[in-house]
A = this chain, B = another copy of it.
């Protein structure tokens, strides 16, 4: 059922809105290969495992810490990244499943 699409899925719109900002899009793209875009030497934990901490993302982005923090929270609300706290560091990692599902949904409904 529900074959007559009435209005766009809110989750889809949220994701698109999160991605519509060049900085946030860039952050998500950097996280595709963390070891490529962030200093591996300074990593407190395996990037592939837990992700990259806010400080490193902030240093790369060149924006205020509060801005980067808010952006990562927004990407998380949109379901594009997952957060893990390791000590005092919050690490953000891509949610590849959700991202893949988003692209698939776009291919089908868009």
Where the two chains meet, the residues of A that have a C-beta atom closer than 8 Å to any C-beta of B are: 4-5, 7-8, 10, 12-13, 16-17, 19-20, 22, 25-26, 28-29, 36, 99, 103, 106-107, 109-110
CA distance A98 to B21 in the complex (A): 20
CA distance A4 to B26 in the complex (A): 12
Chain A interface helix/strand/loop/mixed: helix
Residue of B nearest to A105 (CB): B103
Is the CB–CB distance between B26 and A8 below 8 Å? yes
Q: Which of B16, B29, B99 contacts A25, CB < 8 Å?
A: B16
Is the CB–CB distance between A106 and B109 below 8 Å? no
Chain B residues positioned under 8 Å from A22 (CB to CB): 7-8, 10, 13
Can you list 25 A-B pairs with a CB-CB distance of less than 8 A? A4-B36, A5-B29, A7-B26, A8-B22, A8-B25, A8-B26, A8-B29, A10-B22, A12-B25, A13-B25, A16-B16, A16-B19, A16-B20, A16-B25, A17-B20, A19-B20, A20-B20, A25-B110, A28-B110, A99-B110, A103-B103, A103-B107, A103-B110, A106-B106, A107-B107
